[in-house]
Chains A and B, each alone.
Chain A
Amino acid sequence: GAGVSQSPSNKVTEKGKDVELRCDPISGHTALYWYRQSLGQGLEFLIYFQGNSAPDKSGLPSDRFSAERTGGSVSTLTIQRTQQEDSAVYLCASSEWSYEQYFGPGTRLTVT
């Protein structure tokens, strides 16, 4: 079946603008994760959704970052007032409960 999809694949935005990144998880997967990969850094956990539970937002770097998951499926990561340090590849992953995470192709965000 289809894997995790993310859109857009690339996004270039001007500093100060808001951006929305989308993740479509594998159908039926209850858990959804967002990670960020900055140049020279490892993958950094951002936020985790599990079923109807309150999301674990402990990895969000600032209050400019937020995410929601509608209907237990699609998720949107929003970055407000983007800064140059937000430039990174944003990865989404989904899993059945706490089993193996399947990653999407990522969205490369460039803030100019």
Chain B
Amino acid sequence: AQRVTQPEKLLSVFKGAPVELKCNYSYSGSPELFWYVQYSRQRLQLLLRHISRESIKGFTADLNKGETSFHLKKPFAQEEDSAMYYCALSTTGFQKLVFGTGTRLLVSP
């Protein structure tokens, strides 16, 4: 069965500091990995997907199949990055997403 693990419930950093939100997955095939974000009082929305290989709002994530990881990184955190971040996996495109438990990122001034 597929599983996504986000080991940190809370990550607290100061503005301008680098950020890395960890995500590990278990799946024997070739998954698609995603990061979703939920800002306060807003809906869950897609931040980025690994096959796009793009940077959104300064965030990047690289799929490491050897380590089965898909960590989310940003070199300089901003206060507006404070939100709940969920890593998700799919075995068939966007269908049936399997989510991690989420990491709350708090960026302090």
Residues of B within 8 A of A104 (CB): 43
* Interface residue ranges, A against B (CB under 8 Å): 3, 31, 33, 35, 40-45, 48, 50, 56, 58-59, 91, 95, 98-106
**Is B101 within 8 A of A40, CB to CB?**
yes
**Is B100 within 8 A of A42, CB to CB?**
yes
**Is A31 within 8 A of B102, CB to CB?**
no
Give the 7 A-B residue pairs with the shortest CB-CB distance, closest first.
A98-B93, A43-B99, A42-B99, A42-B101, A103-B44, A103-B43, A42-B100
Shortest Cβ distance from residue A16 to the other chain B in the assembled complex, whole angstroms: 29
* A42-B4 contact, Cβ under 8 Å, with A48-B95, A99-B94: yes
Residues of chain B at interface, number, CB under 8 A: 19
Residues of A within 8 A of B88 (CB): 43
Shortest Cβ distance from residue A53 to the other chain B in the assembled complex, whole angstroms: 11
Shortest Cβ distance from residue B48 to the other chain A in the assembled complex, whole angstroms: 11
CA distance A94 to B101 in the complex (A): 21
Q: Which of B86-109 contact A (CB under 8 A)?
A: 86, 88, 92-102
Q: Which of B63-85 contact A (CB under 8 A)?
A: none
Residues of A within 8 A of B96 (CB): 33, 45, 48, 56, 58-59
- CB of B56 closer than 8 Å to a CB of A: no
